[in-house]
């Protein structure tokens, strides 16, 4: 009984120590996982990888050593890129800048967390309240996986852009877990990349780089929260705010909601009014505003997590 009490006191002490210590988001002392469970041929297989490709660029931009980066995807997509004209260079660039590539079906067995490092886990793909969907074997990576692999001495930082990212909103923050989610218990959508570029936030040179180098095609849909995070981090010097993740999250969430502000989802034809107006049939469509509410779990850790590099 006394031993359990002493262990609990020690764990509380270590948790507080980790929460209060300043750490860098971009640093070789971290371990990075870029994850997509979408299988080749499934809806979103290419665009979900493109989401992660934007984040990979950030890791390169902030000079993170590739040995700390692991890509977890359906390897059939990478092989398809190698065999497809116009995509070979993307596969080559991915392999050149990533330390390890793991097939998504073997992730839980093959990936080993380094206990002396913070884990930065970035996900793009499909999800539900059950967790991250793995299409190749129709299973889920659940929130239990992250709690079971959390440590009392290091942080677990998660960026979740899949649908129903709120499935990870309840994780035990006492285990030093921090989550930036693209949406609560809603679907997480993607918008054409060219519609997300603005003169205010993206210079002409950056726009050309995004469209011609980072995007797999000029109108490929990108998750607006992921792209907003990219925009906030690439503009960190110009924003002139404190470089911790409270401010990064605030900017990313604001940009996301701005992108969605004028976007409507057409539900379909609700009725056909057969009353002829000027010789034409009047057709009325029902539409609704898209809702994707980002969230931040564990502001204490986010406030002590700085961009750095």
- Average pLDDT rounded to a whole number, residues 237-259: 86
Residue 175 sits in a domain whose CATH number is 3.40.50.1460
* DSSP string for residues in 153-215: SS-EEEEE-STTGGGGTT--GGG-EEEEES-SSS----EEHHHH--TTTS-HHHHHHIIIII-
Q: Is the pLDDT of residue 209 over 80?
A: yes
Q: How many CB atoms lie within 10 A of CB 112?
A: 9
- Phi first, then psi: give them for residue 89, nearest 5 degrees: -65, -30
Give the residue, 2 or 109, on which the prediction is more confident. 109
| 169: Cα within 13 Å, side-chain hemisphere | 19
Give the pLDDT score at 267: 39
Minimum mean pLDDT among 18-32, 93-107, 109-123, 127-141: which range? 18-32
Q: List, for residues 113-158, the tens digit of each pLDDT value.
A: 998 999 999 999 999 999 999 999 999 999 999 999 998 889 999 9
Mean pLDDT of the chain: 87
162 confidence band (pLDDT: 50, 70, 90): very high
Q: What does pTM read for this prediction?
A: 0.87
Residue with tokens 């059950």, as numbered in its chain: 130
Predicted confidence (pLDDT) at residue 217 exceeds the cutoff of 80: yes
Residue 273 has pLDDT above 70, yes or no: no
Residue 297 has pLDDT above 70, yes or no: yes
Q: Per-residue pLDDT for 268 more than 50?
A: no
Query: Residue 294's pLDDT band (boundaries 50, 70, 90)?
Result: very high
pLDDT tens-digit profile of 50-79?
999 999 999 999 999 999 999 999 999 999
Residue-level pLDDT at 245: 94
Rounded to an integer, what distance in angstroms lies between the CA atom of residue 91 and that of residue 147?
32
What is the structure's pLDDT at 152?
A: 84
What's the confidence (pLDDT) of residue 148?
95
pLDDT for res 283: 42
Token readout for 290 is 């898209």
Identify the CA nearest to 55 among candidates 205, 159, 188, 211.
Answer: 159
Q: What is the C-alpha separation between 226 and 10, in angstroms, rounded?
A: 37
> What is the reported pLDDT for 259?
86
Q: Binning pLDDT at 50, 70 and 90, where does residue 6 land? A: low
**CA neighbours closer than 13 Å in the CB half-sphere of residue 90:** 23
* Strand 221-222 relative to strand 264-277, pairing: unpaired
The domain of 225 spans: 2-306
Q: Return d(Cα 279, Cα 184) in angstroms, integer.
A: 46
The number of distinct structural domains making up the chain is 1
pLDDT number for residue 149? 94
* Percent of the chain whose pLDDT exceeds 70: 83
- Evaluate whether 61 touches 234 at the Cβ level (below 8 Å): yes
Q: Shortest CA distance to 174 belongs to which of 198, 201, 200, 155?
A: 155
């Amino acid at each position: 009984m006394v031993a359990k009490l002493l262990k609990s006191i020690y764990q509380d002490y270590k948790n507080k120590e980790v929460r209060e210590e300043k750490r860098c988001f971009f640093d070789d002392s971290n371990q990075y996982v870029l994850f997509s469970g979408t299988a080749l041929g499934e809806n979103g297989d290419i665009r979900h990888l493109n989401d992660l490709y934007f984040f990979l660029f950030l890791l390169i931009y902030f000079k993170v050593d590739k040995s700390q980066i692991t890509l977890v995807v359906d390897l059939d997509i990478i092989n398809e890129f190698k065999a497809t004209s116009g995509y070979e260079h993307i596969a080559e660039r991915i392999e050149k800048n990533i330390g390890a590539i793991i097939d998504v079906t073997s992730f839980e067995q093959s990936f080993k967390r380094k206990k002396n490092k913070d884990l930065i886990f970035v996900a793009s793909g499909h999800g539900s309240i059950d967790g991250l969907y793995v299409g190749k074997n129709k299973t889920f990576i659940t929130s239990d996986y992250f709690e079971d692999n959390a440590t009392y001495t290091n942080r677990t930082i998660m960026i979740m852009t899949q649908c129903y990212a709120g499935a990870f909103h309840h994780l035990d923050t006492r285990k030093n877990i921090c989550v930036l989610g693209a949406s609560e218990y809603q679907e997480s959508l993607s918008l054409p990349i060219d519609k997300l570029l603005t003169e205010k936030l993206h210079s002409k040179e950056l726009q050309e780089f995004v469209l011609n180098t980072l995007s797999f095609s000029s109108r490929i849909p990108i998750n607006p929260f992921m792209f907003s995070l990219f925009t906030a981090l690439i503009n960190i010097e110009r924003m002139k705010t404190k470089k911790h993740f409270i401010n990064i999250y605030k900017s990313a969430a604001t940009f996301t909601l701005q992108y969605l502000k004028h976007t409507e989802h057409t539900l379909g034809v609700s009725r056909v009014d057969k009353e002829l107006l000027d010789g034409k049939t009047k057709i009325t469509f029902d539409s609704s505003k898209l809702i994707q509410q980002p969230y931040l779990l564990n502001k204490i850790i986010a406030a002590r997590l700085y961009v750095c590099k």
